[in-house]
C-alpha cells in the first residue's frame, strides 16, 4: 500500500514536477494538489494536462491552470459506507480523504483496498498467552511470527485492507514491546493509539478507557486471531439488521455416532439416527455502536460475554454474524503450528 503523501503535490510545483510524479504513480496516476497547510486545491491527471495543452496552455504555464477544482473527496467526519460503495461502483478508484479543514489526511485506492469502513478498530493485546509458553516467556503472543509477519500485523493489515485507519491497541503483558513494535515500523496511512491496562480488565474492559473514538461504530477484535473475514460484509449486515452489537460466530459441528432419542416421561417420541448438530461459538470479533460502550464499567474486569449479557438484559439488539471464511484462534501450540501451515495458502 502506498504512502498517501505520494499522491500529493504542492501548488507551487511546475508541470515537469507533475508529469514526473504521474509517471511514478503509473496505473494510479492522479495527483491531489495542496497548499501549505495540505488543504486540497484540486486534482490533476495526464488527461487534464493534455486537455490544457490542447486549449492553449503552455508547458511553462502555472500548474494551477491545469488543475481541476473541486474533485470528489471523502469527508472523514461524516462519510457513510453507502457513499464508499457508490464511489467504488462508479469506478472512482483513487479518492482523497479530507478533515474538517479540508486537509488531506489519507488517500483511498480501491485497487489496493476493498473498502473504507467508517469505524475505529480496537485490538485487544493485553493477555499473557500462557498456553503458548515457553514461546511467550519473553515475547507477547501478538508479536509471535506467523509466516513472515507478527500475528498482530496480520490483524492490522487485514483491517487496513478494508480502509480502517483509526486503531487502538490495548496493552498489558509485555505491552512495551508491542508499543515499540508499532512505533519502530511506522503506521502507514493509519493512526495507532494505545490504551494501557494497569491491571487485567478482561476481554473487553479496556475499551471503556478510550474516550476519543473518531466514529460512531467500533470494531473490537482479539489480537490472536487469523482470519479472512470480509469486514465490509460484517458491517453491512450490522447496518441492515439495525443491531446494537454483532458477534462474529464460528460454526462448530457435532456428529453424534448413535441414534438420539427424544423422550417424554420415559416414552420415546422420536429419534434421529446419528444426527449432526451445528452450534455457533464466539469468534472474538465484535461490532458495536459507540453508545453501547457506556454499558462497560470503568476500570473493572469485564468480559465480552458480560457486555453481551447486558445488551440482552436491556432489550437491545444483539445479533450473530456466521463467518463463512477462514478463522483460527491461535491459543494453543497446535493452533500455532496449524497457522504456520495455513498462512502458506491464505490471501489476507
> Which has more pLDDT, 266 or 146?
146
Q: Is the whole-model pTM more than 0.85?
A: yes
CA distance 317 to 245: 6
- The residue segments making up the domain with residue 199 are 120-342
60, 89, 109 - which closes a domain = 109
Task: Check if the beta carbon of residue 289 is closer than 8 Å to that of residue 245.
Answer: yes
Quick: pLDDT tens for 206-256. 999 999 999 999 999 999 999 999 999 999 999 999 999 999 999 888 898
Q: What is the pLDDT of residues 282-322, one digit of tens each?
A: 999 999 999 999 999 999 999 999 999 999 999 999 999 99
- Domain boundary at 109, 141, 169, which? 109
321 and 287 in a common domain:
yes
Integer Cα distance of 188 and 323 in angstroms: 28
In this predicted structure, the answer to whether residue 116 has a pLDDT above a threshold of 90 is yes
Strand ranges inside the chain, DSSP E: 8-10, 31-34, 40-44, 74-75, 94-98, 104-109, 120-125, 145-146, 149-150, 166-171, 191-196, 217-222, 225-227, 245-255, 260-264, 267-272, 276-289, 318-322, 327-329
pLDDT surpasses 80 at 187? no
Q: Is the same domain home to 82 and 187?
A: no
Q: pLDDT category, 29, cuts 50, 70, 90?
A: very high
Q: Into how many domains does the chain fold?
A: 2
Burial class from Cβ neighbours inside 10 Å (0-12, 13-18, 19+) for residue 319 reads middle
105 and 136, same domain (yes or no)? no
Same domain for 231 and 289, yes or no, is yes
Instruction: Identify whether residues 51 and 103 lie together within a single domain.
Output: yes
What CATH number did the domain enclosing 15 receive? 3.10.580.10
d(CA 37, CA 59): 27
Burial class (CB in 10 A: 0-12, 13-18, 19+), 58: exposed
* Residue 129 CB-half CA count within 13 A: 31
Asked if residue 347 belongs to a domain, the reply is no
Instruction: Please tell me whether residues 311 and 167 are part of one structural domain.
Output: yes
| Full DSSP string of 89-124 | HTT--EEEEE-TT-BEEEEEETTT-S---S-EEEEE
What CATH number is associated with residue 152? Answer: 3.90.550.10
Rounded to whole angstroms, the Cα distance separating 322 from 234 reads: 9
Are 263 and 176 part of one and the same domain? yes
Question: Would you state the cell numbers that stand for residue 26, as one nine-digit string?
Answer: 503509473
Residues 168 and 309 in one domain: yes
Measured CA to CA, the distance from residue 288 to residue 155 in angstroms comes to 18
Q: 140 and 97, same structural domain?
A: no
**Same-domain check for residues 51 and 146:** no
Q: Are residues 47 and 102 in the same domain?
A: yes
Residues in contact with 6: Cβ distance below 8 Å, sequence separation at least 6, in sequence order: 21, 24, 25
pLDDT tens profile 59-107: 999 999 999 999 999 999 899 999 999 999 999 999 999 999 999 999 9
- Of 156, 117, 116, 124, give the one whose Cα is nearest residue 140: 124
Do 220 and 268 have their domain in common? Answer: yes
CA-based angle 239:241:243, to the nearest 5?
Answer: 75
Last residue of a domain, one of 83, 109, 135: 109
pLDDT-derived band of residue 173, with 50, 70 and 90 as boundaries? confident
pLDDT digits (tens, 9 = 90+) for 188-205: 788 999 999 889 899 999
Please check whether residue 120 is in contact with residue 219, taking contact to mean a CB–CB distance below 8 angstroms.
yes
Amino acid at each position: 500500500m502506498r504512502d498517501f503523501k505520494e499522491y500529493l503535490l504542492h501548488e507551487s510545483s511546475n508541470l515537469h514536477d507533475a508529469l514526473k510524479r504521474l509517471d511514478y504513480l503509473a496505473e494510479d496516476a492522479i495527483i491531489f494538489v495542496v497548499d501549505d497547510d495540505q488543504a486540497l486545491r484540486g486534482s490533476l491527471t495526464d488527461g487534464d494536462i493534455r486537455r490544457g495543452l490542447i486549449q492553449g496552455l503552455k508547458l511553462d504555464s502555472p500548474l494551477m491552470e491545469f488543475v481541476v477544482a473541486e474533485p470528489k473527496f471523502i469527508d472523514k467526519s461524516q462519510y457513510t459506507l453507502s457513499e464508499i460503495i457508490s464511489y467504488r461502483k462508479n469506478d472512482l478508484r483513487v479518492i482523497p480523504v479530507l478533515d474538517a479543514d479540508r486537509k488531506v489526511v489519507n488517500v483511498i485506492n480501491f485497487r489496493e483496498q476493498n473498502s473504507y469502513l467508517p469505524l475505529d478498530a480496537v485490538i485487544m493485546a493485553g493477555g499473557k498467552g500462557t498456553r503458548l509458553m515457553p514461546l511467550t516467556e519473553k515475547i507477547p503472543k501478538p508479536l509471535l511470527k506467523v509466516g513472515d509477519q507478527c500475528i498482530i500485523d496480520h490483524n492490522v493489515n487485514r483491517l487496513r485492507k478494508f480502509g480502517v485507519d483509526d486503531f487502538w491497541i490495548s496493552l498489558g503483558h509485555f505491552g512495551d514491546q508491542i508499543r515499540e513494535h508499532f512505533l519502530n515500523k511506522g503506521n502507514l496511512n493509519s493512526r495507532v493509539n494505545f490504551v494501557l491496562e494497569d491491571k487485567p480488565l478482561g476481554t473487553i474492559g479496556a475499551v471503556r478507557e478510550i474516550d476519543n473514538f473518531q466514529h460512531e461504530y467500533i470494531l473490537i477484535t482479539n489480537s490472536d486471531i487469523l482470519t479472512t473475514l470480509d469486514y465490509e460484509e460484517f458491517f453491512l449486515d450490522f447496518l441492515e439488521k439495525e443491531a446494537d452489537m454483532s458477534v462474529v460466530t464460528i460454526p462448530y459441528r457435532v456428529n453424534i455416532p448413535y441414534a438420539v432419542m427424544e423422550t417424554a416421561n420415559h416414552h420415546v417420541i422420536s429419534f434421529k439416527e446419528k444426527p449432526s448438530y451445528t452450534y455457533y461459538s464466539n469468534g472474538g470479533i465484535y461490532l458495536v455502536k459507540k453508545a453501547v460502550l457506556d454499558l462497560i464499567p470503568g476500570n473493572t474486569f469485564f468480559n465480552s460475554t458480560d457486555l453481551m449479557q447486558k445488551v440482552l438484559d436491556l432489550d437491545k439488539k444483539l445479533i450473530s454474524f456466521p463467518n463463512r471464511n477462514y478463522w483460527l484462534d491461535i491459543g494453543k501450540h497446535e493452533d500455532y503450528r496449524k497457522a504456520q501451515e495455513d498462512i502458506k495458502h491464505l490471501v489476507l
